[in-house]
Amino acid sequence: MIWLGIALGCLGCYAFKLAGLSVPHKVLENSRVRRISALMPVALLAALIAVQTFTDGQRIVFDARVVGLLVALLAVWRKWPFLVVVFLAAASTALVRLAFGA
C-alpha cells in the first residue's frame, strides 16, 4: 500500500512538472501568459513562506517560527549571503524554542 502511494505520488508530481514545461510555444508568446507566469513564482513562494510560518496542519498559529521569519527578513534586507539567512532563521527559531519550550 505504501508502495502504491509512492508510485502514484511520484507519477502525479512528475506529470505536473512535465505539463508546465510542455505548454506550446505559441501560448507562451501571449503577453498575458508571460505576465502572469512572471508573477506566479512570487505569489507561490510568498504563500509557501506564509503557510510554513503561520500554520500547523489546518490551524493558524503564531510560534517560534515567526521569529525565524522576522530574522530571515532582516538578514535579507541587510543583503547577507544565502547561507547566513538560512542559518540565522534556523538558529533563532531553535533558540526561541529552547528558551520557551514551545
Partner 1 sequence: MTDDTTSHLHTDEDQRWPETKKGIVRDAFGVALATGAYGTSFGAISIASGLTLLQTCILSLVMFTGGSQFALVGVIAGGGNPVAGAATAAMLGSRNALYGIRMAALLKVKGWRRFATAQLVIDETTAMAVGRHSERASRLGFYATGLLLFTLWNLGTLVGGIGADFVSDPKVLGLDAAATGAFVALLAPQVRGGEAWAIALAAGAVAVASSPFVPGGVPVLIAALVALAFGFRPGTNAPKDEA
- Please report, as residue ranges, which positions from 76 to 95 form the binding site for partner 1 (by CB under 8 A): 76, 81-83, 85-95
What's the grid cell of residue 64? Answer: 517560534
Minimal distance in Å, beta carbon 15 to partner 1? 8
Site for partner 1 in 24-63 (CB under 8 A): 25, 28, 31-55, 57-60
Count of residues engaged in binding partner 1, rule: CB under 8 A: 77
Using rule CB under 8 A, residue 13 touches partner 1: yes
The SS3 call for residue 23 is coil
Helix, coil or strand: residue 57 = coil
The reply on whether position 100 binds partner 1 by CB under 8 A is no
Residue 16 Cβ, how far from partner 1 at the closest point, in Å?
Answer: 4
Long-range contacts for 97-102 (Cβ within 8 Å, ≥24 apart)? 97/64, 100/64, 102/63, 102/64
CB 62 to partner 1: min, Å: 11
Q: Are 65 and 89 in contact (CB under 8 A)?
A: no
